Amino acid sequence: MRNYKNVLLDPADCVLLVIDHQPQMYFGAEGKLRAQIMNAVKGLTKAAAIFQIPVVMTTVTANTFAGVMYDGVTNVFPGHQPIDRTSLNAWEDPRVRKAVADTKRKKIILAGMWTEVCVAFPALSAMEDGYDVYFVADACAGSSKEAHDTAVLRMVQKGASPLTWQAALLEFQRDWGDKITYAPVTALIKECGGVYGQGLAYAENFCGK
């Protein structure tokens, strides 16, 4: 089977950059989306763990303003300390750039709060530095729907690629015949995949008998 790794995400080429999933940022995000975003970023982070994708986490002024990173992310990688910064643009912090560069991966998958600032700024900057950038739209939120949508347009116009957390997971899996990751992937879909997860559970419990 052909790989198509130039157009589809290969876990071996990717690094996940999780930015500012912190209480203060959630407070300022569009309210109706908060629970969905928390579920999406948790699912995305667990997908990275399943496929051994390195994760770089960063917070902004965690101790003085925004609070600690959401534990749905940090619990997946215990002992992995987020890089705390003061810059609005995470890419302008040399520690963040070094952490990404040290992975030797050129495809960055971004999830962050808010889309119009903490996702768009590093996305544009990383692309200028030669990285391919993919942002997980349902694991990001803006201060309003208009702010989020406008940021998405800005990033896409500059060459970033949008996707959703579950699409990323299935793109990593690619083949249900891959039994190494089949069980953890289906378990994650049942945990975070909403109706799709319920469908899998139904099929296993009833249709498979």
- pLDDT tier for residue 197 given thresholds of 50, 70 and 90: confident
Considering the domain architecture, whether residues 63 and 15 belong to the same structural domain is answered as yes
Same domain assignment for residues 155 and 182: no
Q: Are 164 and 136 in contact (CB under 8 A)?
A: yes
pLDDT, tens digit, for every residue of 64-117? 999 999 999 999 999 899 999 999 999 999 999 999 999 999 999 999 999 999
User: Is 200 a residue whose pLDDT tops 90?
Assistant: no
Decide if 58 is inside a domain.
Answer: yes
Whether 98 maps to a domain, the answer reads yes
CA atoms of 105 and 79, how far apart (whole Å): 22
> What is the length of the chain?
209
pLDDT > 70: what percent of the chain? Answer: 97
Provide the domain count of the chain. Answer: 2
Residue 67 lies in a domain: yes
Do 170 and 180 lie in a common domain? no
**Domain, as residue range, for 161:** 11-174
Predicted confidence at residue 208, as pLDDT, reads 55
- What is the pLDDT at residue 135? 98
Residues 157 and 192 in one domain: no
Residue 190 and residue 146 in one domain: no
- Residue 3: inside a domain: no
Q: How confident is the model at residue 32 (pLDDT cuts 50, 70, 90)?
A: low
Q: Within this chain, do residues 161 and 86 fall inside the same structural domain, yes or no?
A: yes
* Shared domain check, 181 and 106: no
SS3 sequence, the chain?
A: CCCCCCCCCCHHHEEEEEECCCHHHHHCCCHHHHHHHHHHHHHHHHHHHHCCCCEEEEEECHHHHHCCCCHHHHCCCCCCCCEEECCCCHHHCHHHHHHHHHCCCCEEEEEEECHHHHHHHHHHHHHHCCCEEEEEHHHCECCCHHHHHHHHHHHHHCCCEEECHHHHHHHHHCCCCCHHHHHHHHHHHHHHCHHHHHHHHHHHHHHCC
Q: What is the pLDDT of residue 198?
A: 87
Tell me if 148 is assigned to some domain. yes
Is the bond into 91 cis (omega within 30 degrees of 0)?
Answer: no
144 and 158 together in one domain: yes
Q: Report the pLDDT averaged over residues 177-196.
A: 94
**Average pLDDT over every residue of 10-14:** 96
Do 86 and 31 belong together in one domain?
A: yes
- Domain containing 148 — which CATH number? 3.40.50.850
The confidence score (pLDDT) of residue 150 equals 98
User: Does residue 68 share a domain with residue 167?
Assistant: yes
* 147 has a pLDDT exceeding 60: yes
In a domain, 1, yes or no: no
For residues 90 and 70, what is the distance between their CA atoms, to the nearest angstrom? 17
One domain, residues 168 and 199: no
Work out the pLDDT band at 207, boundaries 50, 70, 90: low
| Catalytically active residues, by annotation | 118
192 inside domain: yes
pTM equals 0.94
- The answer to whether residue 28 is domain-embedded is yes
Q: Find tokens 């030797």 and name the residue.
A: 104
With cut-offs at 50, 70 and 90, classify the pLDDT of residue 181: very high
Q: Are residues 67 and 139 in the same domain?
A: yes
Residue 120 pLDDT > 60:
yes
